[in-house]
Amino acid sequence: MRVIGLAGWSGAGKTTLLSRVIPCLVGRGFSVSTVKHAHHGFDVDHPGKDSHTHRVAGATEVLVSSAVRFALMHELRGEKELDLAQLLGKLAPVDLVIVEGFKREPHPKLEVYRAAVGKPCLYRDDPDIVAIACDQLLPETPVRAVLLTDTEAIADILLAHAIPVDEAGARAWSLAWRS
């Protein structure tokens, strides 16, 4: 299992890009999973459902299963948020995990950049950015830049720069240890 991330400011189009590149990778025969970081509270459940009732009643984990899918919800209940390495360890094995968010973690990342967002490029301050997908080609970048519309090139970049999950975990541990 290998991992690579997408990093970029809100509104840059990370999720839209993923919705195009995942089918491209699956079409090439790769199994793909994603990890998405949310900066705010979120809910995948809602009042009126039994699973919501179980969770609100105090269950730490609620697993909902059917013939089509299963979902596991885990309430942290004041515990520390899991880091990326811990979350990756919870996934079933696949060929490629694409991480959306976790832009401060030390794994290879493709920056998604749109000038209209009005924010600076991240690659200048992040040595883990290996390429940039942008709405217009940027002159003189130290890493490869491709257009956001070039899904095949973006898939190639993700595959070429993904690293083994255990290496990503070791990088994160090394960074935490030095801090």
Which sequence spans correspond to the domains of the chain?
2-40+81-178
Q: What tens digit of pLDDT does each residue of 129-161 get?
A: 999 999 988 888 899 999 999 999 999 999 999
The CA distance from 158 to 160, in Å, is: 6
Alpha-carbon torsion angle 132, 136, 138, 144, nearest 10: 30
56 in the Ramachandran plot: left (φ > 0), alpha (ψ -120 to 50) or beta? alpha
pLDDT of res. 173: 67
Q: State residue 179's pLDDT score.
A: 52
| Nearest by Cα to 31 from 179, 137, 169, 162 | 162
Q: Which region among 35-39, 92-96, 146-150, 158-162 has the lowest average model confidence (pLDDT)?
A: 35-39
The answer to whether the beta carbons of residues 94 and 26 sit under 8 Å apart is no
Radius of gyration of the chain (CA): 18
Please tell me which residue, 72 or 121, carries the higher pLDDT value.
121
Q: Say whether domain 2-40+81-178 belongs to CATH 3.40.50.300.
A: yes
Query: First vs last Cα of the chain: how many Å apart?
Result: 27
